[in-house]
Amino acid sequence: MANDGYLAIILNAHLPYIRHPELKTSVEESWLFEAVLDTYLPLLNLLEKLGKEGLSVTITLSVSPSLAEMLVDPLLNERFLIYTENKIKLTEKELERTKNNSEMFKLASMYLKETKASYSQYKDRYKRNILNPLKDMQRSGLIEIITTSATHAFLPLLNVVKGAVRGQIHFAVQSHKKHFGVKPEGMWLPECGYSEGMEYILEENGINYFFLDSHGLLFGDRKPKYGVYAPVKCRNGVSAFGRDAASAKAVWSNSEGYPADPVYRDFYQDIGYNLPIEYLKPYLYVEHERGNTGIKYFSKHAGGERNIYKPEAARKKVLEHSENFIYRRLKQMNEISRYMDRPPLIVCPYDAELFGHWWYEGISWLENVLRKAAKGNGIKLISPSEYLKRYPENQVIAPSFSSWGNKGYCEVWLEKRNDWIYRHLHRITERMCKLTVRYPNAAGVKKRALNQAAREILLAQSSDWAFMMKMGTDTAYAHRRIKEHIYNFNKLYFSIIADRIEETWLAAVEYKNNIFSDMDYKVYSNSTFQ
C-alpha cells in the first residue's frame, strides 16, 4: 500500500453578510476585517508559499457565498484599507508607549511588521481582490473550493417548507460560479446540518458530495462497513463524508484541544479593551466603540497570572502540537488499516476563522501539519473529489438527521431564545413561492421588487442570527437584522400585490441589502407551496 491513509482537511470560511453602507462604520464590519487580517490573508500567504515550494499539498476550502460577496464588495474593500491603516497607526503609537518594556516592544514591532505586510499583500499584490488568488490556487490543485448554503442557513430547520432549501442551494451554486468561474463539486452543509432528502436538492444543483458529523453517517439506515473512514453514497449517488471525532477533538476541545495551551496568546487580552479609551480613540474603527485591535501582549492565564506572550515559546509549542497531530493520525491510521481493504480516509473539518484569529498560532500549526503530511511519511493529503475519483464505488446508505452542534442535532438553533424566528422564516418563504407563481414573468420595477424580496428572504435565513441569540452575543444586532429582513420582505410582498411599489424605498433597500446582484426570483417557482 502506497499510503497508510488519506487526510482531508476542510476549512469553512464564513461570515454573515454584515455590510452597512448606511453607516460610516459598524462594529459588525470589523468582524470581517479582523478575519481578513488575521485568517484569510495569512492563510493565502501560507498556501502560496507551499505552492511555490512545489509541495504536494491539498486542502478543501469552503467559502460561503455571503463571505465571497463581501470580499469583492468595493465599499467593504475600501473600508478594510481604512481599518488596516488605523491599526498600523495604532501599532506605531504602541512602539512609543512600550519603548521601555523590551518584551512588549518586540511584540508591537512584530505586529507592525505583520500588519504592514498584510496591507501590502491585500492592496498591491491582490489589488483588493482575495478571491483571485484562490482561483489560481484551485487551478493549480492546491485547494478545492466548495460552497455552503447561500447565507449559511441551517437547513434542517428550513426543510419543512418547500422552496427554502432549494433557494439556499441554488443561489449558493450560482454565486460560486460567478465568483470562481466553475461549479462547486462539494457543499459544506452549514453546521453539518443534514435532514432527510436534502441530497436530492444537492443533486439538482450539480453537487457531488457533502459532509456529515460522525453520527450522521454512523447512524444511517445500515451499518457503514468502514465506519467514518470512507464516504458513503446516498441513494441518488451523491456522496457523504463523515467527520472524524478524534481529530476534531484535538483541535476543538475547550479543555484538551491544542489552542487551550497556556503558552499560546490570549485572545481576550486585547489593548482595545485594556487601554484607556482616550488613548485608543483616534484609531478605533467605530467611534467611541471599544473593539479588538489584534494587539495583544499576554499569553493565556496560567494559575491566574498574566504572563507576557513569548512568540518563541509558542513557536516551539506549535511544532510540538503539529507533530503530535500527525503522530496521532498516523497511529490512528495504522490501527484502522488493519481492518480495511483500502487506505482509510480521515476527514478533519474546521472553521477557518479559528486559525489565526482566535488561535493566533493556528496558521503556523496548519503550516507544520501540511508540511509534515506533504513529506509523505504515510499520510497523503487529499480532496474529496480526488478521493472519489480513486474510489468511486462506495456503500449506499441513507444518512441520519444530524448536525455538529451541541448534542448533535438542532438544539443550538431551536431553543427558547430563537424559536420565534421560524414562524416568520417559514411564512415569508411560503409567501415568496406564492408571489413567484402569481408573477411568473414580472418586468421593470415589479421584477426588481421580487428579486429584492428573494434577497431579503435569504438574508433572514442566515443561521448566524439564531446562533447569536442562543449564545447571547450581539443579541440586539441579531434581532434587528432578522426583523429588518422580515419587515422588508413583508413590505415588498404587500406592495407587489397592491402594485404600489415605492421605488425610492426599493432603491434604498437594494442599495443597502445588495447581496447576489444577479438574483432571479423565479427559482422559487419550482417549489409548489401547498
Partner 1 sequence: MKRDFLEALSVEELCQVGRDLGIDIYSLIKKADLVELIFENLEPEEESNNLLINGEGLKYSPARCIAEESLESIEYPIPERYDETKIMLMLRDPDWAFAYWDIETSLTAGLKSDEKFSSLILRVYDNNDRSFYFDIKVQFSDMGWYIKLPRRNSSYIIELGYISGDRYTVLAESNTIYTPGGSLAAEKDLKWYSDTTERLIDLSQTGLLSPEKSEDVISQRIISFSSSSYIQHKE
Choose among 430, 425, 451, 452: nearest CA to 513.
Answer: 452
Asked if 356 is part of the footprint of partner 1 (rule: CB under 8 A), the reply reads no
The crossing angle, in degrees rounded to 10, of helices 41-52 and 131-139 is 30
Residue 516 sits at the vertex; the CA angle it makes with 186 and 404, to the nearest 5 degrees, is 40
Asked if 301 is part of the footprint of partner 1 (rule: CB under 8 A), the reply reads no
How far apart, in whole angstroms, are the C-alpha atoms of residue 133 and residue 47? 10
Helix (H) or strand (E) holding 331: helix 311-337
Among 78, 85, 323, 419, contact with partner 1 (rule: CB under 8 A): 419
Among 13, 41, 104, 228, contact with partner 1 (rule: CB under 8 A): 228
- Other Cβ atoms closer than 10 A to 361: 23
Site for partner 1 in 53-92 (CB under 8 A): none
Per-residue DSSP letters for 45-97? HHHHHHHHTT----EEEEE-HHHHHHHT-HHHHHHHHHHHHHHHHHHHHHHHH
Q: Which stretch binds partner 1 (CB under 8 A): 130-138, 311-319, 380-388, 396-404?
A: 396-404
Asked if 220 is part of the footprint of partner 1 (rule: CB under 8 A), the reply reads yes
Total chain residues near partner 1 (CB under 8 A) = 122
Choose among 205, 309, 295, 204: nearest CA to 261.
Answer: 309
Asked if 34 is part of the footprint of partner 1 (rule: CB under 8 A), the reply reads yes
Asked if 417 is part of the footprint of partner 1 (rule: CB under 8 A), the reply reads no
Asked if 300 is part of the footprint of partner 1 (rule: CB under 8 A), the reply reads no
Asked if 264 is part of the footprint of partner 1 (rule: CB under 8 A), the reply reads no
Site for partner 1 in 230-259 (CB under 8 A): 242, 244-246, 248-249, 252-257
Among 84, 400, 429, 525, contact with partner 1 (rule: CB under 8 A): 400
Q: Where are the alpha helices (DSSP H) in 181-237?
A: 198-204, 214-218
128 class by beta-carbon count within 10 Å (0-12 exposed, 13-18 middle, 19+ buried) = middle
Residue 425 sits at the vertex; the CA angle it makes with 419 and 430, to the nearest 5 degrees, is 140
Asked if 405 is part of the footprint of partner 1 (rule: CB under 8 A), the reply reads yes
Among 133, 190, 343, 384, contact with partner 1 (rule: CB under 8 A): 190
User: Taking the C-alpha atoms of 371, 129, 520 and 169 in order, what is their torsion angle to the nearest 10 degrees?
Assistant: 10
Q: Which residue, 67 or 108, has its beta carbon nearer to partner 1?
A: 67
Q: Please, what is the minimum distance in Å from the beta carbon of residue 3 to partner 1? A: 18
Q: Please, what is the minimum distance in Å from the beta carbon of residue 136 to partner 1? A: 28
Site for partner 1 in 447-506 (CB under 8 A): 463-464, 467-468, 471, 473-474, 480, 483-484, 486-488, 490, 494-495, 497-506
Helix (H) or strand (E) holding 233: strand 232-233
Q: Which residue, 179 or 431, has its beta carbon nearer to partner 1?
A: 431
Asked if 160 is part of the footprint of partner 1 (rule: CB under 8 A), the reply reads yes
Q: Which residue, 200 or 252, has its beta carbon nearer to partner 1?
A: 252
Asked if 370 is part of the footprint of partner 1 (rule: CB under 8 A), the reply reads no
How far apart, in whole angstroms, are the C-alpha atoms of residue 209 and residue 241? 7
